[in-house]
Amino acid sequence: MSNTDLWTAAGVSPATVSRYLSGIRGTPAIDDRGARTIEKLAEVFGLKPDYFLEYRVWRVREIARRNPALVDRIYDVLVEAAALEVLLDEGPDDA
């Protein structure tokens, strides 16, 4: 599939396709329009939208925005996961 075929099938701009194919997508923060773009690209590639980091970040933000009662629980899970990641990165002390 050529780049032209891709952007035509997904209904997105050539610049958008170029950014994704080159890995230059900016920050992982996207808006609703960006989420729709990712959904279109994912469909063309036969992927789930959450394959893309930007989409996962958007989904977490949307879940928190639409469900304020979950914010504390989401926060706790993210903080615990980040702490675990730090512990895993440190690894066992080889000394």
User: Domain limits of the chain?
Assistant: 3-68
* 4 Cβ neighbours under 8 A, 6+ residues apart: 14
Closest CA to 3 of 31, 16, 66: 16
Alpha helices in the chain (DSSP H): 3-10, 14-22, 32-45, 53-66, 71-90
Quick: pLDDT tens for 52-87.
888 999 999 999 999 999 999 999 999 999 888 877
Environment class of 25 (CB within 10 Å of its CB; exposed 0-12, middle 13-18, buried 19+): middle
Whole-number pLDDT of residue 28: 65
CATH topology for 3-68? 434 Repressor (Amino-terminal Domain) (1.10.260)
pTM metric for this prediction: 0.69
Amino acid identity, position 54: E
Share of the chain above pLDDT 90, in %: 35
Whole-number pLDDT of residue 92: 63
